[in-house]
């Protein structure tokens, strides 16, 4: 039964009261919906835009935002990643030291992205040729001199598969009788025995130390006797082969079908690592040149180390550069 009768609703006082009630209900609904939308947006965010707290992510309508957001898997959380990014992306602002700072600088993001997008739109054929040349160059670049960001999810996914496959090759009959949980526990035990480090769970394992090795130090050499480092190198190899890149596997299989390449199991043709047949590797390079020229494994740019050295206090005193100024090539 209505609290306000039909006749009473016609008075100005009651109409204002009803309007206020509806306004308060709508406002209360928004206070529930907006935080819920921000939570959903957060699940589709990465380090670039996670701290924006927007109900609708900007990359939905901004190509420029998507461009910079997609750089995160290439430059993230390894040693001096921001300096590496500035070498590959000279237009990056000097104060872009963290992804949260970059994400908040919307004008700077648009400016950097616009330069690259305009260049591509003006001459797409030239840009595609550059991309194909880059794919060819990185295909033969030493894996030890590449840097890769290893997220915890990807690390866990790789290590479970890597050590499960090792066990399957060594004890095929025994592994065939194991459940998924048993195989996972056996893989964790095998990893611990090989690394000589006990772990209670795969979730306790990270490659943080390996990502922060000083590749720019003249006296540093890869610890090839370290089993964990060798596992990290295997991780870099599959990352370099786009194992973790969404959508690449399906496109690659379509490419193989179009080229009438026969195979019985997917793991025979993906990821394409060094042990795969030469014919397959040649097809993979052609595919990369057309579809996926840039993998998450990128050559370590020593130019950043030179910038760091030339910007040091020692060089500044040698060249008589005032402390208020920074080194540039004109000096």
Q: Is the pLDDT of residue 12 over 60?
A: yes
Same domain membership, residue 171 and residue 258? yes
Q: Where are the alpha helices (DSSP H) in 212-301?
A: 227-240, 248-258, 278-290
Instruction: Locate 209 and state its tokens.
Output: 């130390």
pLDDT digits (tens, 9 = 90+) for 294-315: 999 999 998 888 888 877 777 7
On whether residue 105 sits in a domain, the answer given is yes
Confidence label for 141 from pLDDT (cuts 50, 70 and 90): very high
Total domains in the chain come to 3
Same domain membership, residue 279 and residue 150? yes
Residue 21 lies in domain = 8-43
Residue 63 and residue 85: Cα distance in Å, rounded?
20
Helix (H) or strand (E) holding 19: helix 12-43
Please choose, from the candidates 142, 135, 49, the residue with its C-alpha nearest in 3D space to the C-alpha of residue 99: 49
On whether residue 324 sits in a domain, the answer given is no
The mean per-residue pLDDT over the stretch 168-189 comes to 93
The pLDDT assigned to 1 comes to 46
DSSP string of 74-103, one letter each residue? TSSSSTTHHHHHHHH-TTS-TT--SHHHHH
Same domain membership, residue 160 and residue 29? no
On whether residue 274 sits in a domain, the answer given is yes
On whether residue 178 sits in a domain, the answer given is yes
On whether residue 236 sits in a domain, the answer given is yes
Same domain membership, residue 284 and residue 176? yes
On whether residue 329 sits in a domain, the answer given is no
Same domain membership, residue 151 and residue 117? no
**Of 16-25, 54-63, 150-159, 180-189, where does mean pLDDT reach its minimum?**
16-25
pLDDT digits (tens, 9 = 90+) for 93-116: 888 999 999 999 999 999 999 999
Same domain membership, residue 262 and residue 220? yes
On whether residue 216 sits in a domain, the answer given is yes
pTM, entire model = 0.83
**Of 255-264, 302-311, 312-321, where does mean pLDDT reach its minimum?**
312-321
pLDDT digits (tens, 9 = 90+) for 47-84: 999 888 888 889 999 999 999 999 999 999 898 899 99
Same domain membership, residue 35 and residue 64? no
Same domain membership, residue 190 and residue 74? no
Confidence label for 2 from pLDDT (cuts 50, 70 and 90): low
Same domain membership, residue 22 and residue 79? no
Same domain membership, residue 183 and residue 117? no
Same domain membership, residue 216 and residue 92? no
Task: With beta carbons less than 8 A apart as the criterion, state whether 74 and 97 touch.
Answer: no
The pLDDT assigned to 317 comes to 77
């Amino acid at each position: 039964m209505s609290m306000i009768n039909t006749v009473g609703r016609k008075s100005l006082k009651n109409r204002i009261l009803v309007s206020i009630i509806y306004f308060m209900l709508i406002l209360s609904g928004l206070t529930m919906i907006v935080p819920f939308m921000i939570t959903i947006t957060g699940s589709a965010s990465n380090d670039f835009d996670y701290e924006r707290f927007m109900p609708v992510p900007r990359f939905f309508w901004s190509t420029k935002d998507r461009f910079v957001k997609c750089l995160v898997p290439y430059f993230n959380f390894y040693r001096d990643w921001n300096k590496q990014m500035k070498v590959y992306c000279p237009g990056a602002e000097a104060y872009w030291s963290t992804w949260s700072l970059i994400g908040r600088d919307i004008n700077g993001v648009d400016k950097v992205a616009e330069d690259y997008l305009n260049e591509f739109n003006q001459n797409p054929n030239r840009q595609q040729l550059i991309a194909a040349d880059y794919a060819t160059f990185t295909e033969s670049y030493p894996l030890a001199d590449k840097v890769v960001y290893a997220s915890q999810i990807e690390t866990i996914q790789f290590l479970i598969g890597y050590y499960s496959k090792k066990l399957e090759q060594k004890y095929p009959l025994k592994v065939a009788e194991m459940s998924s949980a048993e195989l996972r526990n056996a893989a964790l035990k095998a990893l611990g025995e090989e690394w000589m480090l006990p772990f209670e769970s795969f979730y306790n394992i990270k490659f943080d130390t390996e990502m922060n090795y000083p590749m720019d130090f003249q006296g540093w050499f890869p610890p090839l006797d370290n089993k964990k480092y060798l596992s990290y190198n295997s991780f870099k190899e599959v990352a370099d082969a786009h194992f973790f890149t969404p959508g690449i596997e399906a496109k690659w299989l379509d490419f193989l079908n179009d080229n009438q390449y026969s195979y019985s199991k997917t793991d025979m043709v993906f990821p394409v690592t060094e042990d795969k047949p030469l014919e397959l590797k040649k097809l993979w390079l052609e595919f990369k040149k057309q579809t996926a020229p840039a993998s998450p494994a990128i050559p370590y740019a020593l130019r950043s180390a030179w910038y760091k050295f030339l910007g040091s206090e020692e060089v500044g005193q040698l060249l008589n550069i005032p402390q208020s100024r920074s080194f540039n090539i004109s000096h």
